[in-house]
Chain A
């Protein structure tokens, strides 16, 4: 029978006494079927747990010497370990001053993108992101581009593009659905506000660069 590494075999020990003390419960080592037959033949009214009984392995109860050793020497060892932690550097990240660095693929607040050369918006107002959104938090109202008023290179553009951040679950399906990579998940995670209506992000807010860049960490860190 496999025993825990530090558990010595009980020398005429308490483990044996505990097992034999309960006569009603068959030993797990004995065949469960045999025990059940025996119970039926004997006409015993007690419930037969059958094969559900498992034997709990216990370390032998410590004697006086080992008990004293455990009380004092092991306590001292524990004190030493704790003092070791005292000398180690602290792991606290002091949040408002010091921000947790995120991985490059972290899914934070969304960003809308423009073409870098022309400055036109990548979004063509197709509403595929809104269709993909499981939380139903994206609202897109498309409008026609005209030669005088050209916002995106496509036929149409998003006249209204709103994301309700209090509903968003940051699953990233919008990013996957977008055929033009117009919307991606950014790195900002500080999205608290005092008013729910302030959490509805408009197109201008999503297009703008974040006020403060979230620190990034490398894959190895």
Chain B
């Protein structure tokens, strides 16, 4: 059997197990933080407090929300397709966590004599892996919408499908410029290649295109057409309730975290600090988390600012503006790289 992908650094099996648990646990903790941050910040952007009743400063609000959802009945519409209906949220959450495992939080560190890479896994096909799981995540939405047996769910899922396919192309092409410049597909390799200068500067166009496409990929405002409440009740998750809805919700916000992580890794230099500052290794994850929180803040800020696009505007923006720009960006980068080497 041929090797599908090389893994950048091999660790003992027990380190891998611990890392898998840590990645899942950290991801699980980040989502409630994003939830409360979003509601708090949206409140501040609109001149109000946001949740401030549950716990100190309303910090336990996501806990209350999740507990409420998990204690609700796991109902199922009579028209739904049983197994797929239960499976779809699981696909969504699994792919989100799988993508999260790829984000590097730091370089290989020496922890008590064991060399440990501060990431879930460092594969030699990083972006391809991410896009593969992004494509599977779309099954979560599509199956969920279809198997609910409801027209609103189905319409939401169809919109989601069209949107994800349209914007995945631009997203991928925006990354091509970075990959050409870094000459590696490993995410840690891309971070190390940014030691001189973050790709934010030479790949500014790529950064903007990737960010815009990411808003669409995560179904966030202004591209949240899959859950346009005014037209579709709730989008693909209309018929879901209780824990299954919580899974969808969780996957949605974990996708925001994952995209923030990818932007941090690919364009903002990962764990690197500017001006040649080299902090000790244990600071690296905090640098990454800080940069990720900045991008998440941007996500929420944009949500508070921009109104939802009309469907034809979404499609024409994706195919007629973003895709040519992304192609041009990849082409120009390729020419520049060939000319300078």
Contacts and interface: CB of A to CB of B under 8 A. Distances in A.
Dominant SS among interface residues on chain A:
helix
Interface in A38-87: 67, 71-72, 75, 78-79, 81-83, 85-86
Contacts of A91: 47-48
| Chain A interface residue number, banded | 10 to 19
Dominant SS among interface residues on chain B:
helix
A6 interface: no
Contact of B47 (A72, A78, A85): A85
Interface residues of B, number: 16
A88 B306 contact: no
B318 to A, nearest CB: 13
A149 interface: no
B48 A82 contact: no
Contacts of A78: 305-306
B44 interface: yes
A94 B52 CA distance: 10
A82 B305 contact: yes
Given A75-B306, A78-B306, A92 B48 contact: yes
Interface in B302-335: 302, 304-306, 321
Contacts of A18: none
B257 to A, nearest CB: 21
Interface of A: 67, 71-72, 75, 78-79, 81-83, 85-86, 88-92, 94
Given A83-B301, A91-B47, A92-B49, 10 more contacts: A78-B305, A78-B306, A79-B302, A79-B305, A81-B305, A82-B45, A82-B305, A85-B47, A86-B41, A90-B47
13 contacts: A72-B208, A75-B306, A79-B301, A79-B305, A82-B45, A83-B45, A85-B45, A85-B46, A90-B43, A90-B49, A92-B47, A92-B49, A94-B49
Interface of B: 41, 43-49, 52, 208, 301-302, 304-306, 321
